[in-house]
Structure formats: C-alpha cells, structure tokens
Amino acid sequence: MSSRRRFLQNIGAGLIPFTLGFTPDSFGWSLGNIPEEKTLRVALMGLGSYANRVADAMKDAKRAKVVGVISGTPAKITDWQKRFSIPDKNCYNYENFDAIKDNGDIDAVYIITPNALHHEQCLRVAAAGKHVICEKPMAINAKEGQEMVDACEKAGVKLLIGYRMRFEANTLEIIKRREAGDFGDIKFFQGLSGFKIGDPNQWRLDPKLAGGGAMMDIGIYAINGTRYMVGEEPIWVTAQEVKTDPEKFKEGVDETITFQLGFESGVVASCLSTYSMGNLDRFFLNGTEGFAELQPATGYGPIRSATHKGRLDLPHETHQTTQMDEMAKIILDGKMPKVPVDGKDGVKDMKIIDAIYKAAASGTREEINLS
C-alpha cells in the first residue's frame, strides 16, 4: 500500500467519529479534560507599604491574584478597590473579617500587619477556614508561633511564612551547589543584616507592636541565611547586645545584636543584626574546597552572587511575584518547596530568636533545641 493511500485512509478513519456525531470530548481528546491551573485568590490584611509592594508584584503572578482587602482605614480600602477592582463584598475591617468564612471568593489571607498582631489574626483567619500566609516574623516568640501552627492544623488550612528569599534564584543555586559538594565541608558562615532605621515613631520601634527590634525585622534574615546556606540546624548560641541610643531604641527594642551560632558538625556562624548601620546585607559561606557569597543577599534585588568559580548573578525576578506563584503551588497543588516556608519552619526561627535574646541578656551560651 502506498504511503499516500495509508495517509488518506488514516485521515478518513479519524473523521468517522465526527460524521457520526461524536466529538473529541467523547474520547477524552479535548484539552478541556486537562485540569486548568487554579488561581490562589488572596485577601491582603494590612495595607501598608509592604502590602503595596506585594500587590503590585502580584499583577505579574500567574497563579495568585489579589481579590480582597482587610484594613482599619476606610480610605485605604476605597483606594485599593479602585486600583485592583475589588468588590465591596470582599472588603473587611479588623472587627468583622471573621465573616470571611462565608466568602467563597477568597482562598487565603496574607497577614502583613505589625508583628504582635500576627498571632491573634492568624488564629481568626484559620477559624474562618482560610489558608494563612503570614509575613515574617510569624509571631513575637516561639510559643505564639506554635499556637498558630496548631490552630491551622486543627482547621485543616495551610500556614506559610513570607520568606521570599527561599524562592530566589541565586540563593537556590548556591544551595544546590553546596548540596553537590562544590564547597567541600562547610566550616564557616557570616550573615550581616542591617540598615539605618528612620522615623522614630514608626511601629517597628514600639515594643508592644514589634515584639523586639532589629532582630525581629532584619536579623531574622541572617538566621534564615545561616540555616539554609549551611544546611544544618544550630544547637547553641552566644550573643551580645549594644545600644547607643536608648531614647530611640527603648527598653524591649534591640538596636544591635551580634550573635554566634554553633552546629553539631563544628560549623560556626557569626552574624550581626542592626538598626543603626547601613551597607550590611551580605552572606558568606566558606568550605574546604571553596566559597559562596551573596551581596546584596536579601534586598529586593537584584541579588548579586559569586563563588570561587566566578560570578553567578542570575537574572532578577521580582521576589514577591515568584513567592506568591510558588506559594499558590504549595497551597493548591501540594508542591514541596526546595526550602520549607511552612509554619513549623517559622517556629524554628522563633526558637532561635528566643535563644538569642536570652543569650544576650544572660551573657552565657544558650542551648537550642529545634526538635
């Protein structure tokens, strides 16, 4: 049989079902049978500067969308409704947002409020049956963090922490190379995190709202970096606090803390957290066969990176866009991220922060138990 004849017969056979009234759907051939990727519909709680950054970044997200807002300022809600076409029924204040449980248009709430408010707000969102994304730090201590984890588990919803750097390309590439043995046995890590804080009246300098100072806001990046760059969990810490401006940095608000973390393998990390110095955004990982560096390491980008083999400087993508797309996959698809961002991992950071504060106050080495 000629190739031409076989071709015509195959075409004819393919047309028979359609002449008999069948459609591709009848045989499961339609693209309609391929499940569409769902979009994570998010309400933002707290409409400050960072919420604006997140919302603007989500305009480019493929799997996440801003569909609701929660705020104590009516004027902000009105403005956001215009900017993001948010209907009245998806707008709430801090008193009535429990009613979100009856809103089928919202899947998750991203809490971007002062640190001390996270705990109560998370518990209320979980009770309403919505997934929780909580900005870091997740709470003001490990006890509150664990209660948040427990509440979300009881409600059957996910709790994720806004650790944007755990999805950043340069960071993940260095982790990949460390795991491949490119740097040999890891021996040392340095994490420098700090900036000069401005307005003395902002909530970050109010211990009742912040639950601390620089450690909560910027030092947590050095803690994060130590854990995912070294690839181990610390078992002890020593710390020293310095305060040069007690009027600005009141009791309960740390200005500068240096801290040292130790690991079972013998690795030592030397870190700094401060609100009074700039040009401090650097991670340095050193091993027996090489090194890796990120500088800037945690800013909004672009992140600059290098190893002993040369520069990396992978292309910059807006961190919050990537974060929200990846978190949508975690919540909707059950995807497991390379570096955990769940509430249980957030509690580990809070345990370390608790230990750092204790070590700074006592002047002695404090043991860390993250199990």
DSSP string for residues in 205-230: G-HHHHSSSHIIIIIHHHHHHHHHHH
Residues 22 and 113 in one domain: no
Burial (Cβ within 10 Å: 0-12, 13-18, ≥19) of residue 149: buried
Residues 113 and 73 in one domain: yes
Residues 214 and 79 in one domain: no
Answer yes or no: is 322 within a domain: no
Answer yes or no: is 112 within a domain: yes
Residues 340 and 227 in one domain: yes
Residues 10 and 158 in one domain: no
Domain of 174 in residue numbering reads as 165-317+336-367
Residues 22 and 109 in one domain: no
d(CA 74, CA 91): 10
| Residue-by-residue pLDDT tens, the chain, 371 positions | 444 444 344 444 444 343 444 444 444 444 455 557 899 999 999 999 999 999 999 999 999 999 999 999 999 999 999 999 999 999 999 999 999 999 999 999 999 999 999 999 999 999 999 999 999 999 999 999 999 999 999 999 999 999 999 999 999 999 999 999 999 999 999 999 999 999 999 999 999 999 999 999 999 999 999 999 999 999 999 999 999 999 999 999 999 999 999 999 999 999 999 999 999 999 999 999 999 999 999 999 999 999 999 999 999 999 999 999 999 999 999 999 999 999 999 999 999 999 999 999 999 999 999 98
Domain harbouring 152, CATH code: 3.40.50.720
Answer yes or no: is 202 within a domain: yes
Residues 358 and 264 in one domain: yes
Residues sharing a CB contact under 8 Å with residue 300, sequence separation 6 or more, in sequence order? 53, 319
Answer yes or no: is 329 within a domain: no
Residues 284 and 354 in one domain: yes
Residues 197 and 218 in one domain: yes
Answer yes or no: is 209 within a domain: yes
Residues 11 and 62 in one domain: no
Answer yes or no: is 328 within a domain: no
Active site residues: 136, 221
Residues 188 and 289 in one domain: yes
Answer yes or no: is 325 within a domain: no
**Number of domains composing the chain:** 3
Answer yes or no: is 324 within a domain: no
Residues 360 and 233 in one domain: yes
